[in-house]
Chain A
Amino acid sequence: MKARIHVTLKNGVLDPQGKAIEHTLGSLGFDGVNEARQGKFIELDIAETDEAKARETVTAMCEKLLANTVIENYSIDLEQ
């Protein structure tokens, strides 16, 4: 099963890299860009066919390593 994980900064956590992206997009002429946020995308192939079990395992991976929950949120998409 494929697991696709997005890790993003929590609301309220300043994202200087997102700000720089927003600023540069503006300087390239892309007007009206607001709230650019940079995150991470992690893709895993896991040897589990049961979706509930897979979600439980990947959630544990996120809590233990893939995200720092002090500053980051994560979301998990699974695909057979």
Chain B
Amino acid sequence: MKAAVIVFPGSNCDRDIQVALRQSMGSEPQMVWHKDADFDDVDLICLPGGFSYGDYLRCGAMSAKSPVMKEVVARANKGVPVLGICNGFQILTECGLVPGALMRNSNLKFVCRDLHLKVERNDTVFTKQYQAGQNIRIPVAHHDGNYFVDSEGLKALEDNGQVAFRYSAKDGSVSEASNPNGSLNNIAGVYNTKGNVLGMMPHPERLCEDVLGGTDGRPMFDSLVAALS
């Protein structure tokens, strides 16, 4: 399996994804600078978290127009799996690969802590090594993670099974009390209609080794390696 991690000016989780991928793949992912639109054919493209272009105008707005993203969109439309985490999710919404938008957290606070997620489905390349309905612990760190989509779009997401993860409580229940940022229907991550693009605010790459306090993020990378090797 070959993977690429796109690096934008202001990305700061690119190395974390690199380490997580290296551990699961047993080989080196390719780090691709955002100006290099002609990178190798790969089986997986990752858009990392961070503050690309200083979050100017809107989070992810500038990166979505960078040279490499035209190529990422073209490859995603051909079926190449794309994983966008945190700022990567914001970039995916800004370039239209997944629906909706990420707005300022409803309580206006930057939220930075471990919380729980309910895995909605385990029949995608990203989640095969989780159980459907499994409750996992994953860190979040964001100021603009309040997922919004209009009511028609929300119905379509729910009807098509495009919700990937929901913010939940430790006991697995999903309610307003377990919603850290005001996201509609507690949505923490969404797929495109084909299921080959996943955008999510939480950071699975930050919890892939015991030494970091947990491994609930690792099955995502192991799932991708198993599906794409």
Contacts and interface: CB of A to CB of B under 8 A. Distances in A.
Contacts of B182: 14, 16
A52 interface: no
A71 B107 contact: no
B100 A70 contact: yes
Contact of B93 (A16, A65, A70): A70
Interface stretch (B1-9, B25-33, B57-65, B201-209): B57-65
Contacts of B57: 40, 65-66
B13 interface: no
Interface in B89-123: 93-94, 99-101, 103-108
Q: Is the interface of B mostly helix, strand, loop or mixed?
A: loop
A65 B106 CA distance: 24
B65 A13 contact: no
Given A13-B148, A65-B57, 20 more contacts: A12-B150, A13-B103, A14-B103, A14-B148, A16-B103, A16-B104, A16-B105, A16-B146, A17-B104, A17-B108, A40-B57, A65-B65, A66-B57, A68-B61, A68-B94, A68-B101, A70-B148, A70-B150, A71-B101, A71-B103
Interface of A: 12-14, 16-17, 20, 40, 64-66, 68, 70-71
